[in-house]
Amino acid sequence: MNKNLITLIIVIVSIVLLSLTVVQFYWVKNAISVERTNFENKVNEAVSNVIFKLEKIETFSNLQKTMNSQARVASFFSSMDSINRDLYDEMLAIKRPEDIEKLIRKSFMATEVFSEMARKDKPFDIETILNKVLIDSLLNDELRQKGIKTKFEYGVYSSEKNRMIIEKTGQYQAQLLKNGFVFTLYPNEFLANPNYLMIFFPFEIRFLLKEMASIILISLILIIILMMLFTYVIKIIVWQKKLSEMKNDFINNMTHEIKTPISTISLACEALSDSSVKRNEMLSENYIKVINDENKRLADITEKILQAATFEQGELILKKEVLNIEDVINNVINNIGIQVEVKDGKIIRDFRASKTTIIGDKMHLTNVISNLVDNANKYSPRKPVITIAIENYTEGIKISIEDNGIGINKENQKKIFDKLYRVPTGNIHDVKGFGLGLSYVKAIIEKHSGKITVESDLKKGSTFRIYLPFSM
């Protein structure tokens, strides 16, 4: 896929995702405002019910009072009658002057009692009429019935007195006055200065959010899943693109690698068919050697590629045997040593392990060491100094291969074990390779239940360490 196309797709999908998130956000916001209106309606209904009930109670108690006072008037008149009658009888029966004084005192007392009995009700005072506990329990009941189960604060505000005359706790007075729901108390009475019932919900937002938790949570989860999938897909696309680039590189390298020996061989064959060469035994022998060598190179390349293909299908079967790791390493040094010496370099042996035998596949482990030493040599442009150390650790043998070459940066250290990966060098292709070696090495070591690590500093050198347990 074209790089520009990928970028375009990423941009478009990002925009779509972003818009989707924004739309979702507005949708949730909208839903919250609908929920809020709903909440307000419920509060309106509940509080209106409470005010209606309060009025009913009020009217009822007024009625009772009236009834009481009617009864009182009746008894008042009858007692007044009887007292008057008594006084009249007593007046008729006066015989002595002291009796007059007694009578006056009695009549005075009767007047006192009458006026006491006839005393009118106290003037209308809302503070005594409204009952804090009653309002609280009515509000509680009504709100609960409407499903509003969150803490509320209320107060009764008198516009005449210009202050709160009843408060539930008094904690939220400012909010009550500023943000509270306001209702007129006794809306049917034409009072000059009405009283207001105010109600405020300190945790209203929290309550609304809780009511909508499922919606919010679901949309959040969907968005997160979408974003995760998107990043995953992008990662895969980028990786695929890289892989296809690496495969291209691989094919280019391979064709190049194969073409050289093929053309050398064909040149040598041509030369051999020449009659003058045929006659010269030494020369023809030489050409035959060239053909042989190049043929071996071709076989090597084919073998490497075949190895990689074999892994792909997971058909790697080890031939286990008891082997001495020192022997394996010495064998590799014997084969590669010359290539290092040609570059004026050297290989240092640092064998410190007391137990050097393990169970493993000799051929594959030889390939592993050979690959690592070959890399150490290939990627050390000047006078390679390669140190191969063997040590024991509790469960096995540790082999380190250290070089003073070009090194690998942190980012690439993670990738060099991937199949076909080669550290990019721009357009300079001075070191030949297919990027298959280290992935093979890793696979073989892991087949032996071992581990491989790399430690490297750019321009200073690299150390590859292999941990091989005594038995797999």
**Min separation Cβ 425 and Mg ion, Å:** 14
**Min separation Cβ 431 and Mg ion, Å:** 9
List C-alpha distances in Å: 44 to 52, 169, 246: 12, 21, 70
Question: By CB under 5 A, is residue 375 in contact with Mg ion?
Answer: yes
Q: Which is nearer to ligand ADP, 378 or 398 (CB)?
A: 378
- Contact code string over 255-294 relative to ligand ADP, x by CB under 6 A: ----------------------------------------
Contact predicate 140/153, CB 8 Å: no
Please, which of residues 194-253 interact with ligand ADP by CB under 6 A?
none
Task: Give the three-class secondary structure for 276.
Answer: helix
Tell me the residue nearest to Mg ion as measured from the CB.
Answer: 437
* Cα–Cα distance, 221 to 212 (Å, whole number): 14
Q: Which is nearer to ligand ADP, 405 or 450 (CB)?
A: 405
End-to-end CA distance of the chain: give it in Å, rounded.
Answer: 43
Contact predicate 366/401, CB 8 Å: no
Q: Which among 464, 465, 462, 466 has a CA at the least distance from the CA of 409?
A: 462
Contact predicate 426/418, CB 8 Å: no
Number of neighbouring beta carbons within 10 Å of residue 437: 23
Buried b (16+ CB within 10 A) or exposed e, 393-416: eeebbbbbbbbbbbbbeeebbeeb
Task: Kindly report the three-state secondary structure assignment for every residue of 408-421.
Answer: CCHHHHCCCCCCCC
Give the bridge partners for 360, in sequence order.
321
How big is the site for ligand ADP, counted in residues (CB under 6 A)? 21
* Look-up of token digits 């030369």: 271
405 contact, one of ligand ADP, Mg ion, none, CB 5-8 Å limit per kind: ligand ADP
Number of neighbouring beta carbons within 10 Å of residue 189: 12
How big is the site for Mg ion, counted in residues (CB under 5 A)? 3
Sign of CA dihedral 139, 144, 145, 146: positive
According to CB under 6 A, which one of 197, 369, 403, 466 is a site residue for ligand ADP? 403
* Distance, C-alpha 90 to centroid of its chain: 102
Give the bridge partners for 456, in sequence order.
462
376 contact, one of ligand ADP, Mg ion, none, CB 5-8 Å limit per kind: ligand ADP
Q: Which is nearer to ligand ADP, 38 or 255 (CB)?
A: 255
Please, which of residues 52-71 interact with ligand ADP by CB under 6 A?
none
Q: Which is nearer to ligand ADP, 142 or 403 (CB)?
A: 403
Q: Which is nearer to Mg ion, 20 or 423 (CB)?
A: 423
According to CB under 6 A, which one of 405, 444, 467, 468 is a site residue for ligand ADP? 405
423 contact, one of ligand ADP, Mg ion, none, CB 5-8 Å limit per kind: ligand ADP
434 contact, one of ligand ADP, Mg ion, none, CB 5-8 Å limit per kind: ligand ADP
Phi, psi angle pair for 131, to nearest 5°: -120, 120
- Contact code string over 410-449 relative to ligand ADP, x by CB under 6 A: ------x----xxx---------xxxxxxx----------
**Min separation Cβ 456 and ligand ADP, Å:** 7
**Min separation Cβ 255 and ligand ADP, Å:** 15
Q: Which among 417, 267, 402 has a CA at the least distance from the CA of 348?
A: 402
Contact predicate 419/436, CB 8 Å: yes
Tell me which stretch binds ligand ADP (CB under 6 A): 63-71, 307-315, 355-363, 398-406. Answer: 398-406
Contact predicate 345/380, CB 8 Å: yes
Please, which of residues 353-392 interact with ligand ADP by CB under 6 A?
371, 375-376, 379
Tell me which stretch binds ligand ADP (CB under 6 A): 93-101, 354-362, 381-389, 400-408. Answer: 400-408
406 contact, one of Mg ion, ligand ADP, none, CB 5-8 Å limit per kind: ligand ADP
Q: Alpha-carbon Rg of the chain, whole angstroms?
A: 52
According to CB under 6 A, which one of 138, 408, 444, 468 is a site residue for ligand ADP? 408
Binding residues for ligand ADP (CB under 6 A): 371, 375-376, 379, 403, 405-408, 416, 421-423, 433-439, 462
Binding residues for Mg ion (CB under 5 A): 375, 433, 437
